[in-house]
Structure 1
Amino acid sequence: MATPWTTADIPSQAGRTAVVTGGNSGLGLATARALAAAGARVVLAVRDEARGAAAAAGLTGQVEVRRLDLADLSSVRAFAGAWTGDLDVLVANAGIMAVPQARTADGFELQFGTNHLGHFALANLLLPHVTDRVVTVSSMLHRSGRIDLEDLNWERRRYSATAAYGQSKLANLLFTLELQRRLTAAGSAVRATAAHPGWAATDLQSGSGSRLKDAAMAVGNRLVAVSAEHGALPTLYAAVADVPGGSFAGPDGRLMRGAPTLVDRSAAASDDALARRLWTASAGLTGVDLPASLPH
């Protein structure tokens, strides 16, 4: 029986650069800590620079903090526009979960705009610099998601916070699927991978706006969830292990626990035609598309 993959299996990251969105807390912080400890230069891309600086102060290695608000495309463009040099790994980790209905600075439904469209724009704008891979953090709740191409921003449907979250997490996997197809077609060696943490105890589950729901999630965090460090393992596996482009990593056990491995996704998340249509819609909404020049 193979030995479970852990952070001890991360190869040296010396000389490599990684950007981790939402790297100041939870899964992002655990991901950043492991990459920095392995020798990478890690950039924490965060909305709150003060919180980012406090998080960076607790990490060993070469860690920087830069401002990024995924709910504001002007911030995404500014972050990408200021980037110079190679970027080995982009970890699209930041996200919000089952929050009350709200809009981004550009008028998108907040979860779809933050979890998918912000990362869609960021990845495409940074892609000319990427040398290795783009890792997108999804969720097993993508299985409950449904992409409504006629109402991506919940302007016609009655809003459901959990359904909107599921849509955004399904969109993450469809983005990975279509990005990998386009990279392969362009002859690029860059890989697009995805991961889900299982059920990890982080602050993600505390923003519903309902004391009852937040309390129930807190109980689940105590009784069922794994730590953020354990939950980050699939992301790290997708970021540094020799896995095929398009791969989806997650825990190998029941109750969304266990060692990281490659896992299955829903039929909807494997729908090539839907992935292409969502890409076209996302490019139209953000004004950002696959760059003409890609690294090989």
Structure 2
Amino acid sequence: MGKSWTAADIPDQSGRVAVVTGANTGLGFETARALAARGASVVLAVRDVRKGEQAAARMPGQVSVQELDLASLGSVRAAAASLRSRFGRIDLLINNAGVMYTRKQATRDGFELQFGTNHLGHFALTGLLLDLLLPVPGSRVVTVSSGGHRLRAAIRFDDLHWRRRRYSRVGAYGRSKLANLMFTYELQRRLAPHGTTIAVAAHPGVAATELPRNAPAPVRLPITWLAPLLAPSPAKGALPTLRAATDPSVLGGQYYGPGGPLEIIGPPRPVTSSAESYDMAVQQRLWAVSEELTGVTFPAPGRAGNPG
């Protein structure tokens, strides 16, 4: 497949189970709809079940809804238990949901909201579901990051939840998206010896979605004005995620984004993340801290068992 990869290039997904977080609107909705259209049994893992059911009604094929609030580890555990009872296998776990540029808030477990939702919630969910993916040939964990991982982003282990420093909406978002990438790269390193499941990351470039709604006006207004001009539909923004999830040529540890100038728009292709995102020592420390904060320990590839 060449530079013009589109949703039409998605291989047949019949018989596959795909769980997509944050799938009731925007990029998640378009990702889920495209997978359902190609035959996958798709689960919309969403905070608002009513909105999820409304979204499911607008999709073809086999689509169901699972309640999931990534800002609550209790909800994450309940959702994972429900999914485990419903499905004997998962082929695709797409960690798409996220919050962006919110004011300073905490999750139910006391984590800074953007880091807690975007990274820790997905870290826990992946760990609790991973053993349903490990035996499945071609299974993938796809985590959606952002070009924002380069903006004022640093994993400051002495103040992960912004209790000492002055809070920065942009910095907190960048930290969470940097964590998404570091999680993907470390997960892939752990999966590589097993060889069945791979971890991949993606970012949408600029897409006309609701995500920037919490941004301060000086940031929100330019995005609101420019996004419809650059990316008329979230469907285009979903293409890097869809390619990462379905293209047979994708390799574990790759990062997909738009192939145009500055990775803003364009056909999806492998791209490069920031130099900091590849720091293996920080990746491994972040993993250990994430296990400690969430209480979730990942199953070892090749070993059956229910994760903690």
The two structures share one fold, judged by TM-score above 0.5: yes
Structure-2 separation of matches of 1:34 and 1:295: 33
Cα shift at 1:218: 1.3
Cα shift at 1:294: 4.4
Counterparts of residues 12-161 of structure 1 (less than 5 Å): 12-82=12-82, 83=84, 84-130=87-133, 131=136, 132-144=139-151, 145-161=153-169
**Structure 1: 5+ residue runs without aligned partners?**
none
Cα shift at 1:273: 1.0
Cα shift at 1:53: 0.4
Counting matched residue pairs gives 294
After TM superposition, the score normalised by the length of structure 1 is 0.96
The answer to whether the Cα contact below 8 Å between 1:92 and 1:136 also exists between their aligned partners in 2 is: yes
* One-letter identity of the residue aligned with 1:234: P
Local SS of the residue matching 1:234: helix
- In structure 1, the residue matched to 2:237 is 231
* One-letter identity of the residue aligned with 2:110: G
The answer to whether the Cα contact below 8 Å between 1:129 and 1:295 also exists between their aligned partners in 2 is: no
Does residue 265 (structure 1) correspond to residue 273 (structure 2)? The answer is yes
- In structure 1, the residue matched to 2:207 is 200
Cα shift at 1:159: 0.4
Cα shift at 1:244: 0.8
Structure-2 separation of matches of 1:234 and 1:293: 26
- In structure 1, the residue matched to 2:184 is 176
Local SS of the residue matching 2:196: coil
The answer to whether the Cα contact below 8 Å between 1:56 and 1:63 also exists between their aligned partners in 2 is: yes
**Structure 2: 5+ residue runs without aligned partners?**
none
* One-letter identity of the residue aligned with 1:103: A
- In structure 1, the residue matched to 2:8 is 8
Local SS of the residue matching 1:87: coil
Cα shift at 1:290: 1.3
Which string of whole-angstrom CA distances, capped at 9 and with x for unpartnered residues, describes residues 208-259 of structure 1?
2x44543332112233344200000000000011211001000100141100
Cα shift at 1:2: 3.2
Structure-2 separation of matches of 1:149 and 1:294: 31
Which string of whole-angstrom CA distances, capped at 9 and with x for unpartnered residues, describes residues 65-95 of structure 1?
0100000000000111122310000000000
Q: Kindly report the root-mean-square deviation, in angstroms, between the aligned alpha carbons of the 2 structures.
A: 1.5
The answer to whether the Cα contact below 8 Å between 1:43 and 1:66 also exists between their aligned partners in 2 is: yes
Which string of whole-angstrom CA distances, capped at 9 and with x for unpartnered residues, describes residues 3-39 of structure 1?
5101111110000000000000000000001000000
Query: Percent identical across equivalent pairs?
Result: 55
Q: For residues 221 and 295 of structure 1, do their structure 2 counterparts lie closer, same or farther at Cα, with a shift above 3 Å needed?
A: farther
The answer to whether the Cα contact below 8 Å between 1:199 and 1:226 also exists between their aligned partners in 2 is: no
The answer to whether the Cα contact below 8 Å between 2:191 and 2:301 also exists between their aligned partners in 1 is: no
Does residue 280 (structure 1) correspond to residue 283 (structure 2)? The answer is no
Which string of whole-angstrom CA distances, capped at 9 and with x for unpartnered residues, describes residues 269-290 of structure 1?
1111110010001111000121
The answer to whether the Cα contact below 8 Å between 1:193 and 1:246 also exists between their aligned partners in 2 is: yes
* One-letter identity of the residue aligned with 2:199: A
Local SS of the residue matching 1:27: helix
